[in-house]
Structure 1
């Protein structure tokens, strides 16, 4: 039986982020299952992710924890 990986796979190459990249919370007003099937949402995320000056993170209504704290906002 094969192990499932939680590692994300991309159909593009995300840009290497600069140390002073702007953190961006890219929010979708629904669950991750619905958000990840939205081609418009994914396309906009890709545009941000290909920019080395921006460091986007996906946020959905069922997201429990992010890599940032509320004090960073």
Structure 2
């Protein structure tokens, strides 16, 4: 099972600004798929044999730091 990361876009958005969509990315920041909701992104990831992770705190999302992420 490959670990993937579900992240809101746009990246680097200011707190309180709207999320336009959610992306599923690999460790190298390659976008695998785009969805309107986080739930859809997680569901797609699981159906395709991935282990989805989401940020524990939205602004802490360094993929090289496992403590920034939690499996869902």
TM-score, length of structure 2 as denominator length: 0.36
Task: Give 1 or 2: higher strand fraction.
Answer: 2
Which is higher, the Rg of structure 1 or of structure 2?
Answer: 1
